[in-house]
Amino acid sequence: MKLFRIAILLLFLLILTFSVYNYSTNIKTTQTPFSTQNNFYKNLDLAINTAKITISNRLVRDFNNEVEFYFVYNENPIKVLLSTQKDPFWQVATLQQVVKTVKMNQGKLKLVDLSSKHPYVTFKNN
């Protein structure tokens, strides 16, 4: 009779241990999705804040892999296009170089497109 009770007790403990182990392995952990796009926008914000550039009207075009925003320089809104496939720090540094060159030449920018393979700048006539 004692052996029967010990066997039932061991069986109960074995079932309890197995069910606790099974429950702990079935607990789902939440994961945050990560993509290169998330990292790009975080780095873009960091690059813009580091360069001390004020932007407005940011528009994301995922189908073209572009980000569009307006940058106001000398009361002149400049449309800027950046690529989400390129490093945002280099693109913002290039934007700063373009603005510096235009300032030295006393020109007025209209568009800075750094999103294509061959970046270009458009100037205003007046």
* Residue owning tokens 């182990």: 21
Is 102's pLDDT higher than 60? yes
Domain count, the chain: 1
Helices (H) and strands (E) in the chain, counts: 3, 5
pTM for this one?
0.65
Q: 19 in a domain, yes or no?
A: no
Q: What integer is the mean pLDDT of 110-119?
A: 87
Is 65's pLDDT higher than 80? yes
Over the stretch 72-84, which tens digit does the pLDDT of each residue have? 887 888 899 999 8
Q: 24 in a domain, yes or no?
A: no
Q: 22 in a domain, yes or no?
A: no
**Of 51, 105, 96, residue with least CA distance to 78:** 96
Q: Which two tokens stand for residue 58?
A: 């940011």
Q: 3 in a domain, yes or no?
A: no
Q: How far apart are CA 91 and CA 50, in angstroms?
A: 13
Mean pLDDT of the residues in the chain? 79
Is 126's pLDDT higher than 90? no
Q: 78 in a domain, yes or no?
A: yes
**Domain range for 79:** 36-123
Q: 29 in a domain, yes or no?
A: no
Q: 5 in a domain, yes or no?
A: no
| Between 2 and 61, the higher pLDDT residue | 61
Over the stretch 30-51, which tens digit does the pLDDT of each residue have? 545 445 556 888 898 899 999 8
| Between 12 and 106, the higher pLDDT residue | 106
pLDDT confidence band for 94 (50 / 70 / 90): very high
Is 103's pLDDT higher than 90? no
Q: 18 in a domain, yes or no?
A: no
